[in-house]
Amino acid sequence: MKHKLLTELRYSLSRYIYIRPMLLRRYLKDVLQLRRHLVEALILMGFISGIQLMLPQFIRKMLDDYIPNKKLHEALIYFILIVSAFLIRAFLVVRRNHQMLNFGYRFIHRLRMRIMRQLQLLSSRYFDKTSMGDILTRMLDDIMNVENMTTNSLLSIITDGLIIVGVLVLLFRMDWTLALAALCIMPFYLVNFQFFRGRLRKRYRDIQQNYSALSTEFSESLSGIKVIKSFSLDEFKSKKLEHYVGQDVDMRIRTYTMNAVFLVISEFLTILGTALVLFFGGYLVMIGRLTIGEVVAFYTYVGYLYSPLQAIVNMTQVIQRGLTSTERVYELLDISAWPVERPDAVDLKSCQGHLVFRHVSFAYDTTQEQTLLDINFEITPGKMVALVGSSGSGKTTILNLILRFYDPASGAILLDNSDIRDFKIQSLRHFMGTVLQEGFLFSGTLCDNIRMGRLDATDQEVEDAAKAANIWDFIQGLPDGLHTVVGERGRHLSGGQKQLVAIARVLLRNAPIVLLDEPTSAMDSVTEFQIHGALSRLREKRSIIIIAHRLSTILSADEILVMQKGRIVERGTHDELLSLNGFYKQLYDLQFSEQEKMFKRVLPIL
C-alpha cells in the first residue's frame, strides 16, 4: 500500500511539472551524482526554513501577551533571540547558496563535457544530417537554460517547498477551518497551471527549433561572406535572416504574452486567497474563536504559503525552457555512436601499413545510389596509390572508410591481414596521418598546430617537421617564428601556407599510413614541386593514398586507380593508362595536358 502511494505521488508530481517520468528519473539520477553538495544544502534549507517560521509566532506572542501585559523585559529577550536567530539564518543562507552553486555549476560542467565527448564520438553521418546551428544551440543555449533551471530554480523550488510544508502543518495546528479557507483557491491554481503548461512548453520548443535555424543561417552568412559579397547576395541573405529573426520575435512575443496572462491569473488568485483569510479570520476574532495575534500570525503564514507558490509560478518560464532544453540535450546524448566498435575490439599495438580493400561497397544515408561498388585494391608499405576521377566518383569516401568515419555496407578493409573493425577506432587512427584539401588550423601558434601531429614531440622535432615540409624559411621570416599566432582557422595565413603547416603536422606524426586529399591544390607550382620532394621522403616504408587532381601528383604514384560512378574502371601507371585510350585518357586531355607542359618547364629550374 505504501509503495502504491509513493508511486502515485511520484507520477502526480511528474505530471504536475509536465515531465515524462523517464526524463525526470534520468535528470534526478544525474543530479544525485553530486548529492554531497545537495544534501548539505538541503539540511541548511531545513534550518533556514525553521528559523523563518519562528517570526509569526514572535508576532503573535507580542500582540497577545507582551504588549497587552506590558512585559517589556520578556519582549526584549524575545526580540534579541529573534534577531540572533535571523543573523544565524543569514550565515546559513550564504553557506546554502555556496553549496547550491557548487552543485549546480559542477552539474553543468559535467553535462557540457558529456556533450563534448558525445560529439567527438558521433560519426560523420550525424554531422552530415545535422546543421551546425542546431549543434551550437544545444551546446550553448540549451545548456544555459538547463543551468538556469538547475542553479536557480531548483534551489528556490526546494526552499519554497520546505516552507510550504512547514506552513501547512502550522496552519492546520492553529485553526483547521481557517486553513481550509486559505487552501480553497489551490484547485484554481492547479487548473490555471494545467491549462498553460503544455501550451507554454510547446511554444518554447518551437522557439528553440527556430533559433537553431537562425543560428545556422547566421553562421553560414558569416562563413560565406566573401561569396555573398562577390555574388551580390547581400539583400537575399538579409531577407532570409530577417525571416528567421521575425519569426523569433513573433514567437517570443506570443509566448511571453501567454506567460504574462498565466502570471496575472496566478497573482489574482493569490490576492483573492489573502483577502479571504483576512475576512474569515476577522470573523473568527469577532466571535472570540481567535485572538488578533493569532490572526496576524496566521496571515503572515499565509503570506509564506502564497509567496512561495507565486515564486514557483513565476519560475514557470525558466522551468519550461529548462525542461525543453533538458529533453534536447538528452536527445543528443542518446544518439548512438557510429560506427559501433565490436565488443571484442582490441587496441592496435603496431602497424606495417599493408592495406587491402576486398569487395567493398558503400552508400550514404542521404542517397539511394551506391557510392562505392565492389572496390578491390591493395597497397603495400613504401607505395603510393593515386585516386583519380570526376567529382562524386567515390574518392573521398575511400579515405573516410579507412579512417572509419563510416563502415562498408559489404566487403572488408584489411590492415596487415586483419579487418580494421577488429581494432578500436582511436588506436586505429593513431597510425594514420591525414591532410585534407583545405588545411585546417586551430586557434593558437604555428608550433601548437604542428605539434598536434604528436603531442609529446620536442621543439626540435617540430622544427625538423617544418623544414621537411619546406615551410621553415617562411616561419623564420615571422617576428615570433614558431610562436606566431595563426588566428581562428588559420586566417592569418594563405591557403598554401596553411596546407604546408598541415603537411608538417603529418610529417611529425610519422604514421605508417598517410591519407592525402590533394594536398597541393592550394599551392603555386614551385611550392607544389617542393612538396612532392617532401612527400617522396615521406614514402619510405609508408603506405600513401592520395586523391589527385594535379598531374605532378599522379606521375609520382606507383599505381593510379581511375574511378567513375563508384567503381574502379581502370588501373595502372600513367603511361599504361594513356596507352589504354580510355576514361583516364579523356581526363588527361581535359585536365592534365597543360599541366604536363608546365611540369616539363618547371622541373629543370628545380
| 326-339: pLDDT as tens digits | 888 888 888 877 78
Per-residue pLDDT, averaged over 452-462, amounts to 90
Mean pLDDT, rounded, of the chain: 81
- Does residue 587 carry a pLDDT above 90? no
**What pLDDT was estimated at residue 471?**
84
C-alpha cell at position 565: 560512378
> Strand, coil or helix: what is 344?
coil
| 217-251: pLDDT as tens digits | 877 777 677 667 656 677 888 888 888 888 888 99
Compute the distance between CA of residue 54 and CA of residue 189 in angstroms, rounded to an integer. 27
- Does residue 15 carry a pLDDT above 50? no
| 32-43: pLDDT as tens digits | 888 888 888 888
Per-residue pLDDT, averaged over 2-21, amounts to 46
- Does residue 422 carry a pLDDT above 90? yes
| 165-196: pLDDT as tens digits | 888 888 888 888 888 887 887 788 778 877 88
Confidence of residue 528 (pLDDT cuts 50, 70, 90): low
Where are the chain's structural domains? Answer: 30-333, 438-510
Which DSSP category does 342 fall into? P
Per-residue pLDDT, averaged over 331-348, amounts to 85
Q: Which of 10-19, 288-297, 346-355, 580-589 is predicted with the least confidence, judged by mean pLDDT?
A: 10-19
> Strand, coil or helix: what is 436?
coil
Amino acid at 106: R
| 384-397: pLDDT as tens digits | 899 998 888 899 89
**What pLDDT was estimated at residue 525?**
63
Which DSSP category does 336 fall into? P
**What pLDDT was estimated at residue 416?**
93
Architecture of domain 30-333: Up-down Bundle (1.20)
Per-residue pLDDT, averaged over 89-104, amounts to 86
Confidence of residue 606 (pLDDT cuts 50, 70, 90): very low
Contact 51, 86 (CB under 8 A): yes
- HSE toward the beta carbon, residue 488, CA cutoff 13 A: 1
C-alpha cell at position 330: 538528452
> Strand, coil or helix: what is 299?
helix
**What pLDDT was estimated at residue 17?**
46
**What pLDDT was estimated at residue 227?**
65
Confidence of residue 605 (pLDDT cuts 50, 70, 90): very low
* Residue 591 main-chain phi, psi, to 5 deg: -120, -35
- Does residue 63 carry a pLDDT above 80? no
**What pLDDT was estimated at residue 147?**
84
> Strand, coil or helix: what is 379?
strand
Q: In what order do the strands lie in the sheet with 372-379?
A: 372-379, 355-362, 410-415, 418-419
Compute the distance between CA of residue 502 and CA of residue 438 in angstroms, rounded to an integer. 9
- Does residue 321 carry a pLDDT above 70? yes
Confidence of residue 4 (pLDDT cuts 50, 70, 90): very low
Please state, in angstroms and as integers, the Cα–Cα distance from residue 468 to each residue in 6, 476, 512, following that order.
71, 14, 17
C-alpha cell at position 510: 610519422
> Strand, coil or helix: what is 449?
helix
Per-residue pLDDT, averaged over 60-85, amounts to 80
Q: What is the dihedral of CA 514, 518, 519, 525, to 10 degrees?
A: 140
The residues near 235 (Cβ < 8 Å, ≥ 6 apart) are none
**What pLDDT was estimated at residue 49?**
80
Per-residue pLDDT, averaged over 279-307, amounts to 79
- Topology at the third CATH level for domain 438-510: Rossmann fold (3.40.50)
